[in-house]
Structure 1
Amino acid sequence: MRHFDLSPLYRSTVGFDRMFSMLDNISGDSAPTYPPYNIERTGEDAYRITMAVAGFSENDLSIEAKESVLTVVGEKGEEAEDKNFLYRGIAARAFERRFQIADHVKIQGASLENGLLHIDLVREIPEEMKPRKIEIRSGENKQIEASAA
């Protein structure tokens, strides 16, 4: 795997150190592949994460948002261990999937239907951080009068 030196960017940016450290820690070899998922944009500031969690019920899944990390954990109960499978093609193994969430992104809700877990997210930018128009005043020269002493 190629390694990119991002240190020249550190001295020309302010406040992006978390992003650069995440880029430094990216490793394609250790990225989990189970369960498969999609991330889609559903609106201007709305997103949806869809995970294929066939065989898991609401009681087997937990979703936690802490700081800028969304964690989805699936742990199957013990009932599958008692069965004698001739062929097992449906994975029922435990998993933990983490997603880095950008600032000001909130989780709206989650639903489970037809073996797909849908997690809806929305970006809510505070009013003071939204772009605003700055009025430009004309350059009228105001003369200051000296008061008589």
Structure 2
Amino acid sequence: MTKMALGTHPFLLGFEQLERLVERTAKTGNDGYPPYNIEQTSETSYRITLAVAGFAEDDLAITLEDNQLVVRGRQTDDMGERVFLHRGIAGRQFQKSFVLADGVDVGEAVMENGLLHVDLNRAVPESVVQTIAIKKG
């Protein structure tokens, strides 16, 4: 039995990009840091919340690159004068990626109590019915 790729199934015409999207999603390099939540806040909206304790707004960058939401964090190195007896709070740089479906727009991003909230909104497409004329051959 031969394995059929998702994009080559005869009923999925025009979905070749879906397989590439799945591959890209698997390669995003998310290692679990920082921890995050994804919640559905309404029928058409979502919220991604990242735990970014110790990061200031200027230490974070949010970009949208080809339907891929990328959140990057890099703290400035001010450790010269500080002496830690124990260091349990991670302060390393990170990059977290989320692939967004077509029609999902990024709303606002808000920092609150060490949490970065990024709101997403999905546009509801109108239902379109089109009649195709049949020509005589």
TM range (shorter): 0.7 to 0.9
Partner of 1:96, secondary structure, is: strand
Kindly indicate whether residue 125 of structure 2 is the aligned counterpart of residue 92 of structure 1: no
Structure 1 residues 8 and 122, CA gap change in structure 2 (3 angstroms): closer
Q: 2:126 aligns with which of 123, 127, 130?
A: 130
Q: Distance in 1 between matches of 2:6 and 2:111?
A: 45
Q: TM-score, normalised by structure 1?
A: 0.74
Identity across matched positions, percent: 39
Residue 132 of structure 1, CA deviation: 4.7
Q: Distance in 2 between matches of 1:108 and 1:61?
A: 16
Give CA-to-partner distance per residue, 1:22-67, whole Å, 9 cap, x none: 334636xx54110011111000100000000000010111111122
Unaligned runs of 5+ residues in structure 2 are 131-137
Q: In structure 2, what is the equivalent of residue 66 of structure 1?
A: 65
Residue 15 of structure 1, CA deviation: 2.4
CA contact 2:7–2:16 (8 Å) conserved in 1: no
Partner of 2:78, secondary structure, is: helix
Q: In structure 1, what is the equivalent of residue 18 of structure 2?
A: 19
Equivalent residues in 2 for 1:1-149, closer than 5 Å: 5-7=3-5, 9-12=7-10, 13-24=12-23, 26=26, 31-125=30-124, 129-132=125-128
| Coordinate RMSD, CA, aligned | 2.3
Rg larger in structure = 1
Q: TM-score, normalised by structure 2?
A: 0.80
Q: Distance in 2 between matches of 1:82 and 1:98?
A: 34
Unaligned runs of 5+ residues in structure 1 are 135-149
Structure 1 residues 8 and 76, CA gap change in structure 2 (3 angstroms): closer
Partner of 2:79, secondary structure, is: helix
Structure 1 residues 107 and 82, CA gap change in structure 2 (3 angstroms): same
Aligned residues: 126
Instruction: Return 80-89 or 8-17, whichever deviates more.
Output: 8-17
